[in-house]
Chain A
Amino acid sequence: MIEADRLTKYYDKHTAIRNVSFTVEKGEIVGFLGPNGAGKTTTMRILTGCLPPSSGTARVAGFDVLTDSLQMRRRIGYLPENVPLYTDMKVTDYLAFVAEVKGVDRGRRRQRIGEIMDKCGVAKVRQTLIGALSRGYRQRVGIAQALLNDPEVLIMDEPTIGLDPRQIVEIRQLIKELAGQSTVILSTHILPEVSMLCHRVIIINNGQIVAVDTPENLTAGLQSSTKLRIRVEGPVNQVGMALTQLPGVLRVVAEDEAHLPAGQAGAQAGETTHSFVVESERHCDLRREASRLIVERGWGLLELRPADMSLEEIFVRLVTKEAQEARA
């Protein structure tokens, strides 16, 4: 559905993106992840025909963004970053305008606008001026205008930015519902959003793609060891020693208790609680052994969970690795 081939864009001498290539299959939701200024918006603008690339080609919904721009634009929906809408129009009037320029059949227009307003939850505010809408409603109107023409490809630049937590959940739900019908590409710098919504992640930094994979693979692939986080009520040294002796353990790190109300919880129990991060060989699951050990010794097992590397950590690692390589 989307094929980007060595896209490069210069602004004067500054390179916004360099040799960006990727493909997105039909029905996929792909997340575009990167720090501000990494080139996410530039790439999206190229894919929507708003901006021609300096070199490279891109095909969206089977049409080249430069040579078949008009055909391509009939088949996409775009939600730009700051949701620029005509503030002097009422919601229905605005959607009617968009439906007309997007070429929705005259006979189907009214019905289609009604459907979309219900789907995006803006039916209540249909007669309100867009300028008077809250941020959340504006975002929904933005999504509504993108969806009006039943786009094959939906391109959304930071669709949940500036929304409150409840609105974020609603918008995410809406995007999830689109999966399968439309191909969705969305940019974000909120990492949990990516793991929640996207089938695949494209990490971009300094205008170049750093990694393309599923969120799970990215999490697993970069980990050289398996980590367990254990919180135990017991003498710190003995517990640490015991854990180190478990088979397959590489090292045990006792974590600082700063985040724990040590004085309270520990004092009440008569002993202090400590957190340990047990690092073991890759694919070595120590949960059973560790819990048995702690219980047998008569200590209190308060918490035991796998400490996977979060996408944040992966992201930071990829981005910093990139920077180091560039320097070297």
Chain B
Amino acid sequence: MNILAIFKREWRAYFASPIAYVVLTIFALISGYFFYSLLAFFSLSSLQATTNPGFGQGLNASEWIVRPLFRDIAITMLLLMPAATMRLFSEEKKTGTIELLFSYPIRDWELLLGKFLAALALYSAMLGISLLDIAMLGSLVTLEWGLILSGYLGLLLLGMAFLGLGILASSLTENQVVAAVGAFGVLLLLWVIGWSTEAAGPTLGPILSHLSIINHYDSFAKGTIESRDVVFYLNFTLLCLFLTLRSLESKRWRG
């Protein structure tokens, strides 16, 4: 019950401040633009295929539009989600409201989970916006819905990892900008770490590749849900939430 109360408050707080509106609008704009340009390129290619039959064989809306769109959405989320998580704890620390929360009969994990779920709800709302594009596309061409489903599952898991790290950063500082920049920096590093795997040599390469937060998304993009990738994202999220609990506890101890 406490989780629900915290969730409701956080959800309302998102919409009491401009954060939710800004994040949702920017996401709708950017993902809409990506969708439009992918669709435009696809229809141009389809037009060329009518004059050159051999060219049209690999043309498939799921491969040409949905997959790159999901990849673009993942990058957009990387940029936007730190803004959605930055205030969750840092604001409470700065204004002192956390002291009152600590005096209420709420367990730390209930507090954390309520906040995490509120951020996840906002993230899901953003994914919901992109679903409008997909639904419109689906009314025009035939799509592989299995691929889309696995893509969304992947995005959801990836998003949980983003949010987990964002909340951890927020619990470590009173300053929202520091929380946002810190979360963004670490996420970006974990993203680009996968680019240098070939140059890193046979020992380090696979490790970097495994740590890369986006490499685990590839299987979802291909439509094959691999348990090790699911486990990676869940573990990453749980580790972040666990560290956040520790950080809250130490906040208590240090005052």
Show the binding face of A for B, using Cβ within 8 Å. Answer: 11, 42, 45, 48-52, 70-71, 73-74, 76, 78, 80, 82, 84-89, 93, 97-98, 100-103, 145
In whole angstroms, what is the CA distance A49 to B100 when docked?
10
In residues 143-184 of chain B, which contact A (Cβ within 8 Å)?
none
Known A-B contacts A70-B107, A88-B17; the reply to A145 vs B12 at CB < 8 A is: no
Q: Given the complex of chains A and B, what is the CA–CA distance between A102 and B104 in angstroms?
A: 6
Mask, B3-20, CB within 8 Å of A = 1, is: 011101100110011000
B255/A73 in contact, CB under 8 A? no
Query: Which residues 210-254 of B have a CB within 8 angstroms of A?
Result: 252-254
Asked if A101 and B2 sit within 8 Å, CB to CB, the answer is yes
Contact B97 A49 (CB under 8 A): no
The closest CB in chain B to the CB of A142 belongs to B100
Beyond A73-B104, A85-B100, A102-B104, 10 additional pairs, beta carbon < 8 A:
A51-B252, A70-B105, A84-B99, A84-B100, A88-B13, A89-B9, A97-B9, A98-B104, A100-B2, A101-B106
* 25 A/B residue pairs, CB under 8 Å, sorted by A: A11-B254, A42-B255, A45-B255, A48-B102, A50-B102, A50-B252, A51-B252, A51-B255, A52-B252, A70-B107, A71-B105, A73-B103, A76-B103, A78-B103, A80-B100, A80-B103, A82-B96, A84-B99, A86-B13, A86-B97, A88-B13, A100-B2, A100-B5, A101-B6, A101-B104
Which chain B residues border A42 with CB–CB below 8 Å?
Answer: 255
CB distance from A46 to the nearest CB of B (A): 10
Chain B interface, DSSP helix/strand/loop, else mixed: helix
Closest beta carbon of chain B to A132's beta carbon, Å: 13
From B1, B16, B107, give the contact of A100 (CB < 8 A). B1
- Beyond A11-B255, A85-B97, A88-B16, whether A48 also contacts B9 by CB under 8 A is no
Contact B100 A102 (CB under 8 A): no
Identify the 7 closest CB pairs spanning chains A and B, nearest first: A84-B96, A88-B16, A100-B5, A78-B103, A73-B105, A48-B103, A84-B97
Within 8 A of A (CB), among B80-126: 95-100, 102-107
Query: B16, B98, B103 — which one has the most chain A CB atoms within 10 A of its CB?
Result: B103
Please, how many angstroms separate the alpha-carbon atoms of A89 and B9 in the complex?
A: 9
